[in-house]
């Protein structure tokens, strides 16, 4: 077995590596969550979260995984017997659909082949047909983490408007927030769901709902029983920087630091960095002669790249070899693509050299596991990064 010294390469599309700055910011004594000191932290993180969702409306923060925030979006706005429209983009869309189903929601699930994002035209057609406004919400996964396809949320907003349909618009940004351009207010999203452990560069354990006035009004009128996830109590108490129950205090210290880091770099620069690293990764995959799962270049994910294994090669065996020999964790295939794809995460705390290190591990792993491929992927990634260097170089004013 090769050396396991040095830092582990956590190259899955979430949880993503946590920056040292964030780890240090969390290394704090736990404080009284009813104190004035806490209220200051609470207000800072609630405002900071708004700046990342690009909203002036309430954002609530739950001590939970992203799955909790999925459930929160549903139980606050929908009731058993309601119909919603969803798109089968992959495993995560399928899971969100299942949760809705468990609460007695009827899901009209637009079928998909897991190789592209949600189709705005198909959504528009479904809504245009629904003259009686049976559909209460359109629910879409922004970045489908199981496939590496990113849905075009601004275009889906336009499709809803073109159909003139009053449905709520709910978007899962668990793996896209702070990695891919996202605008809760401008795109008039009613509920944006997110989580801490992907683009936000935090450990797992926080989740979010950004909530429009329309969604808030729907929740006030909604009779679905709920307690822990209820927005009303949360928003009331958040106004003073507090939480109705014990918050994940130390993760909030981390969140405060992560938001600072994002704004120091600039959100647009963060998004451009993700695009650059994703493009370099795709150059490597093409040079290896392997196939990218996402078939629509307009929907290539800036967050991760899912790679199809050549027929009769098992992706999980390959990932095991890469882990044992090179200390790199790659994402597994989920749901119906289990064993057929592996996923390279390039999100959050990631730069040119960490990406090239990761791609070296992927390429050496392919050789070690006997997966047919051409060499030269890392070289191709370097060339792609060099050709985009100009975009990467900060403009320094010369006095
Ligand atoms: C990770 C992820 C989830 C699930 O989040 P958990 O924190 O594991 O509960 C949901 N949707 C998407 C798009 C994800 O990437």
pLDDT single digits (tens) 202-261: 999 999 999 999 999 999 999 999 999 999 999 999 999 999 999 999 999 999 999 999
Secondary structure letter of residue 300 according to DSSP: B
Same domain, 293 and 312: yes
Domain count for the chain: 2
Q: How far is the CA of 355 from the centre of ligand 1 (A)?
A: 23
Per-residue pLDDT at 383 exceeds 90: yes
State the average pLDDT over residues 65-90.
98
Q: Over 247-314, what HEC string results?
A: CCHHHHHHHHHHHHHHHHHCHHHHHHHHHHHHHHHHHHHHHHCCEECCCCHHHECCCEEEEECCCCCC
Instruction: Please write the tens of the pLDDT for every residue from 39-57.
Output: 999 999 999 999 999 999 9
Per-residue pLDDT at 22 exceeds 50: yes
Instruction: Please write the tens of the pLDDT for every residue from 356-369.
Output: 999 999 999 999 99
CA-143 nearest atom, ligand 1: 13
User: CB within 6 Å of ligand 1 — which residues?
Assistant: 14, 65-67, 92, 141, 145, 172, 174-175, 195, 204
Quote the mean pLDDT of the chain.
Answer: 96
Range of the domain at 157: 20-263
Q: Which of 209, 230, 263 is the last residue of a domain?
A: 263
- 397 in a structural domain: no
Q: Which of 15, 62, 145 to mutate to test the pocket of ligand 1 (most atoms within 8 A of CB)?
A: 145
Instruction: Please write the tens of the pLDDT for every residue from 131-154.
Output: 999 999 999 999 999 999 999 999
Q: Which of 263, 284, 309 is the last residue of a domain?
A: 263
Same domain, 241 and 349: no
- 2 in a structural domain: no
Residue found under tokens 């997966």: 371
Q: How far is residue 270 from each of residues 144, 286, 299, measured CA to CA in Å?
A: 19, 25, 18
Q: How far is the CA of 67 from the centre of ligand 1 (A)?
A: 6
- How do strand 168-172 and strand 191-195 relate by DSSP bridges? parallel
268 confidence band (pLDDT: 50, 70, 90):
very high
Instruction: Please write the tens of the pLDDT for every residue from 172-207.
Output: 999 999 999 999 999 999 999 999 999 999 999 999
- 392 in a structural domain: no
- 168 in a structural domain: yes
Residue partners of 314: CB distance under 8 A and separation at least 6: 339
- 398 in a structural domain: no
Q: How far is the CA of 196 from the centre of ligand 1 (A)?
A: 10
CA distance 38 to 29: 12
SS3 86: strand
Q: How far is residue 255 from each of residues 48, 98, 268, measured CA to CA in Å?
A: 8, 30, 19
Per-residue pLDDT at 399 exceeds 50: no
Residue 397 CB: number of other CB atoms within 10 A?
4
Same domain, 296 and 227: no
Give residue 4's pLDDT: 78
Task: Give the CATH number of the domain where residue 293 resides.
Answer: 3.90.1150.10
Q: Whose CA is nearest to atom 12 of ligand 1?
A: 174
């Amino acid at each position: 077995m090769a050396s396991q010294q040095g830092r582990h390469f956590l190259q899955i599309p979430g949880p993503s590596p946590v920056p040292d700055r964030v780890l240090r910011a969390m290394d704090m004594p736990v404080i009284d969550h009813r104190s004035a000191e806490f209220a200051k932290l609470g207000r800072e993180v609630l405002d900071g979260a708004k700046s990342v969702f690009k909203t002036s409306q309430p954002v609530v923060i739950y001590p939970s995984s992203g799955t909790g925030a999925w459930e929160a979006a549903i139980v606050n706005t929908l009731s058993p017997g309601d119909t919603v429209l969803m798109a089968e983009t992959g495993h995560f869309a399928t899971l969100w659909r299942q949760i809705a189903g468990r609460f007695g929601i009827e899901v009209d699930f637009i079928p998909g082949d897991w190789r592209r994002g949600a189709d705005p035209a198909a959504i528009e057609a479904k809504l245009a047909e629904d003259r009686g406004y049976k559909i209460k919400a359109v629910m879409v996964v922004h970045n489908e983490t199981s496939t590496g396809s990113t849905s075009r949320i601004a275009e889906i907003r336009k499709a809803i408007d073109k159909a003139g349909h009053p449905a709520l618009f709910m978007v899962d940004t668990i793996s896209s927030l702070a990695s891919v351009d996202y605008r809760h207010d401008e795109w008039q999203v009613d509920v944006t769901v997110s989580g801490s452990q992907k683009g936000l560069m935090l450990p797992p354990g926080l989740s979010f709902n950004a909530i429009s006035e329309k969604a808030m009004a729907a929740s006030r009128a909604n009779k679905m029983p709920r307690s822990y996830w209820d927005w009303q109590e949360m928003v009331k108490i958040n106004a003073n920087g507090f939480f109705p129950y014990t918050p994940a205090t130390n993760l909030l210290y981390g969140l405060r630091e992560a938001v600072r880091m994002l704004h120091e770099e600039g959100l647009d620069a963060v998004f451009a960095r993700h695009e650059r690293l994703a493009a370099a990764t795709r150059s490597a995959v093409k040079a290896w002669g392997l196939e990218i799962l996402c078939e629509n270049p307009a929907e290539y994910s800036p967050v991760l790249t899912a790679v199809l294994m050549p027929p009769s090669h098992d992706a999980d065996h390959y990932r095991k070899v890469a882990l044992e020999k090179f200390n790199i964790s790659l994402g597994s295939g989920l749901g119906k693509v289990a064993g057929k794809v592996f996923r390279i995460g390039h999100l959050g705390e990631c730069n040119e050299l960490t990406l090239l290190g990761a791609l070296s591990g992927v390429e050496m792993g392919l050789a070690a596991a006997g997966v047919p491929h051409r060499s030269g992927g890392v070289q191709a990634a370097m060339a792609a990064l060099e050709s985009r260097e100009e975009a990467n170089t900060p403009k320094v004013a010369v006095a």
